[in-house]
């Protein structure tokens, strides 16, 4: 950032503004660097004492909400046609997606009268979004017969292992005995990362060597879970690019082998999508849905993105429920997705 040389001549207010600007840039850089840094043992494990949750559900969506609020400013001031156009553009900018944005706006049109003002338009938008998202669908808590089996899938870096750690901690807090299966045998350090999360969450971990067959690890974990009377088994998997057919073959095999240990198969196939990837998450979701029969989505990193609108497209275009949202890197930064609160956070 350029600080003008003659700034000292312009009085304390300008200096204060410049200092604030520089601090904001430094803060932004620090945040960006943190986000770029890959997961490592120190980050996942050392944990450095208690960590404050990022905030409530509303705070987690702050960036999407702020971006949308700016685009919805003055809605209705320039007549109906301009209002609907503005609405559509605002939704697309929040990564609702063109197709979904168009149908949402059509729905709002049906709900409000032609001369509707900004307040009525927002109310129409909220009602439309709430209806489209439907009721909250929480992640399973208890299976027909223990253990509850959760298979976690998603491309690399989407936040699978972190979400598993947070989820495990949540089940443990709820009095459940949890076991994690280190099914990502592909990426160096993945097993250790899961073990560190297991320790942090108070969950057991079943792991083989790096390079082992993921289906075999997960099978062993399920057998161990049954033998040890565990309540929940959560299975990590590798996340190489979805374009590689081998990953999809591997996941299909994992599901087949899981059924040898627990004939009903996984109770939950949780697809972890990176909220910052917006519409790209949609194409990933389509492929995973076709191959492993996804039962719900965990949408991560919503704390750092203005693309939270993708939640609406995931439900609308794929028919998948977002069950969990990741709102930070800490063990407490996982929330159940609440459609009504989300819409309130988004539209205000
Ligand atoms: N800000 C933020 N960061 C997150 C969130 N969830 C995960 N991360 C970060 O995203 C990075 C990748 O997370 P992982 O859990 O290792 O992702 P993964 O899907 O297991 O990745 P692979 O094991 O490589 O397939 C880590 O630096 C996490 O701390 C979230 O909700 N918010
Ligand atoms: Mg991982």
272-316 per-position pLDDT tens digit: 999 998 888 898 899 999 989 999 999 999 988 888 899 999 999
Q: In terms of domains, do 83 and 158 share one?
A: no
Q: In terms of domains, do 79 and 215 share one?
A: no
Q: How many CB atoms lie within 10 A of CB 80?
A: 15
Q: In terms of domains, do 92 and 233 share one?
A: no
Last residue of a domain, one of 86, 104, 133: 133
Residue environment code for 135-165, b if the CB has 16+ CB neighbours within 10 A, otherwise e: eebebbeebeebbbbbbbbbbbbbbbbbbbb
Q: In terms of domains, do 100 and 171 share one?
A: no
Here the CATH number for the domain that contains residue 99 is 1.20.120
| Nearest-angstrom CA–CA distance, 200 and 331 | 8
Q: In terms of domains, do 92 and 231 share one?
A: no
| Nearest-angstrom CA–CA distance, 49 and 314 | 36
> 323 CB under 6 A from ligand 1?
no
- Give the range of the structural domain holding residue 112, as residue numbers without chain letter: 74-133
* Pocket mutation for ligand 1, best pick of 190, 300, 304, 328 (most atoms within 8 Å of C-beta): 300
Here the CATH number for the domain that contains residue 153 is 3.40.50.300
Residue 47 lies in a domain: no
Closest C-alpha among 233, 317, 307 to residue 270: 233
DSSP 320: P
Q: What is the pTM of this model?
A: 0.83
Residue 9 has pLDDT above 60, yes or no: no
Residue 243 lies in a domain: yes
The proportion of the chain whose per-residue pLDDT surpasses 70, expressed as a percent, equals 82
Q: In terms of domains, do 203 and 331 share one?
A: yes
Residue 21 has pLDDT above 80, yes or no: no
Distance 293 CA to ligand 1 centre (A): 22
Distance 191 CA to ligand 2 centre (A): 8
The domain total for the chain is: 2
Distance 216 CA to ligand 1 centre (A): 25
Residue 274 lies in a domain: yes
Q: In terms of domains, do 241 and 308 share one?
A: yes
3-state secondary structure of 64: helix
> 300 CB under 6 A from ligand 1?
yes
- Whose atoms come closest to the Cα of 162: which ligand? 1
Q: Ligand 1 atom 14: the closest Cα is on which residue? A: 159
Q: Ligand 1 atom 7: the closest Cα is on which residue? A: 159
Residue 234 lies in a domain: yes
| 16-20, 45-49, 255-259, 266-270: least confidently modelled range | 45-49
Residue 316 lies in a domain: yes
100-134 per-position pLDDT tens digit: 999 999 999 999 998 889 999 999 999 999 999 99
> 166 CB under 6 A from ligand 1?
no
Angle between helix 280-292 and 245-261 (nearest 10): 40
Q: In terms of domains, do 213 and 319 share one?
A: yes
**Residue-level length of the chain:** 348
């Amino acid at each position: 950032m350029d600080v003008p040389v003659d700034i000292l001549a312009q009085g304390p207010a300008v200096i204060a503004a410049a200092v604030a600007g520089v601090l904001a840039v430094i803060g932004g850089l620090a945040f960006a660097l943190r986000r770029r840094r890959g997961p490592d043992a120190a980050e996942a494990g050392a944990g450095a004492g208690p960590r404050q949750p990022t905030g409530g559900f509303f705070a987690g969506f702050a960036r999407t909400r702020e971006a949308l609020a700016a685009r919805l400013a003055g809605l209705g001031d320039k007549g109906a046609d301009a209002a609907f156009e503005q609405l559509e553009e605002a939704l697309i900018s929040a990564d609702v997606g063109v197709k979904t944005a168009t149908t949402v706006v059509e729905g709002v049109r049906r709900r409000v009268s032609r001369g509707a003002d900004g307040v009525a338009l927002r109310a129409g938008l909220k009602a439309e979004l709430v209806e489209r998202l439907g009721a909250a669908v929480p992640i399973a808590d208890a299976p027909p017969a223990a253990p509850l089996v959760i298979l976690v899938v998603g491309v690399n870096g989407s936040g699978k292992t972190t979400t598993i750690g947070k989820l495990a901690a949540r089940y443990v807090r709820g009095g459940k005995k949890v076991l994690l299966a280190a099914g990502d045998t592909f990426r160096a350090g993945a097993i250790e990362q899961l073990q560190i999360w297991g320790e942090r969450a108070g969950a057991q971990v079943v792991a083989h060597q790096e390079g082992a067959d993921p289906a075999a690890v997960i099978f062993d974990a399920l057998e161990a879970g049954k033998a040890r009377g565990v309540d929940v088994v959560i299975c990590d998997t590798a996340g190489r690019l979805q374009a590689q057919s081998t990953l999809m073959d591997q996941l299909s095999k994992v599901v087949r082998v899981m059924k040898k240990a627990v004939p009903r198969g996984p109770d939950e196939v949780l697809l972890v999508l990176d909220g910052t990837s917006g519409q790209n998450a949609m194409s990933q979701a389509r492929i995973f849905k076709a191959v492993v029969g996804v039962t719900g989505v965990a949408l991560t990193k919503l704390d750092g993105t203005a693309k939270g609108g993708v939640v609406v497209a995931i439900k609308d275009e794929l028919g998948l429920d977002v069950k969990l949202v990741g709102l930070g890197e800490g063990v407490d930064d996982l929330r159940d997705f609440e459609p009504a609160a989300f819409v309130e956070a988004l539209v205000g």
